[in-house]
């Protein structure tokens, strides 16, 4: 079956004032839709048809630019929409909170490290919170649409929180003020979903 653009669980304007409706609409209905269509075209008639996106990315031939870029774009954005929520669902707690504190000392230091990874990613890319088997967490960033599931990517593990720092994700509202966009992101994180992903991946 072909991959389908996932429906958002909230309206395009639901994340305002942190992320504006016009950006969300373009980002989802144009950019993510483009990655979805291009991924389907790239795998059509190949042995990748019918495989899960996680299987495709984990066993990716990194020289296959079409699948690398569009498969990454499809997966990354699917995660991105799910780890945000307008209602501020949940607070960081439980095993994930303990894992973050074990790695970074406290939440504020984690936020500093994550924000720095997002702010200093040169050009386009993503910042990630990943979990390794056993539960250890790690922050990293990747260029373009690469992500930690792909072979040879710097931090590895399973991504459970991701922030898109491509300019299309924030430029209409924040222009060149990427740090302001990063700060705003922390107001819309769906920690219940991040914790669910942590428990599943560890």
pLDDT per residue as tens digits for the range 12-22: 999 999 999 99
pLDDT at 88 over 90: no
Specify the CATH number of the domain 20-202. Answer: 3.55.40.20
| Residue 27, annotated as binding a ligand | yes
Distance from chain centroid for Cα 138: 14
pLDDT at 109 over 80: yes
Task: Tell me the average pLDDT across 176-184.
Answer: 97
In 3D space, the residue among 117, 116, 136, 144 whose CA is nearest the CA of residue 128 turns out to be: 117
User: Which pTM does this prediction carry?
Assistant: 0.96
Task: Tell me the average pLDDT across 183-193.
Answer: 96
Q: What is the DSSP string of 93-121?
A: -HHHHHHHHHHHSSHHHHHHHHHHHHHSS
| Residue 31, annotated as binding a ligand | no
In 3D space, the residue among 159, 137, 161, 162 whose CA is nearest the CA of residue 149 turns out to be: 159
Model confidence at 95, in pLDDT bands (50, 70, 90)? very high
Please name the residue that has the structure tokens 């795998």: 43
CA angle 134, 183, 193 (to 5 degrees): 40
In 3D space, the residue among 165, 14, 10 whose CA is nearest the CA of residue 76 turns out to be: 165
| Residue 28, annotated as binding a ligand | no
Instruction: In whole angstroms, give the CA distance from residue 84 to residue 188.
Output: 5
The one-character DSSP state at 59 is T
Q: Is 83 exposed, middle or buried (0-12, 13-18, 19+ CB in 10 A)?
A: buried
Residue 155 has a pLDDT of 83
| Residue 146, annotated as binding a ligand | no
For residue 60 the two structure tokens come to: 């990716």
Residue 156 has a pLDDT of 83
For residue 122 the two structure tokens come to: 């040169």
For residue 10 the two structure tokens come to: 């909230």
């Amino acid at each position: 079956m072909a991959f389908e653009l996932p429906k958002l669980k909230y309206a395009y304007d639901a994340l305002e004032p942190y992320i504006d409706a016009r950006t969300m609409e373009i980002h989802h209905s144009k950019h993510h839709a483009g990655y979805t269509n291009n991924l389907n075209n790239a795998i059509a008639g190949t042995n990748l048809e019918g495989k899960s996106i996680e299987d495709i990315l984990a066993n990716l031939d990194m020289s296959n630019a079409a699948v690398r870029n569009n498969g990454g774009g499809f997966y990354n954005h699917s995660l991105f929409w799910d780890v945000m929520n307008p209602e501020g669902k949940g607070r960081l707690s439980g095993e994930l909170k303990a894992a973050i504190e074990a790695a970074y000392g406290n939440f504020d230091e984690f936020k500093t490290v994550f924000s720095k990874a997002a702010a200093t990613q040169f050009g386009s890319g993503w910042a990630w919170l990943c979990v390794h088997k056993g539960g250890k967490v790690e922050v990293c960033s990747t260029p373009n649409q690469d992500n930690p599931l792909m072979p040879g990517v710097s931090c590895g593990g399973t991504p459970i929180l991701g922030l898109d720092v491509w300019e299309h994700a924030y430029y209409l509202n924040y222009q060149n003020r990427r740090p302001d966009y990063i700060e705003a992101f922390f107001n819309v994180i769906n920690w219940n979903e991040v914790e669910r992903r942590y428990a599943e991946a560890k």
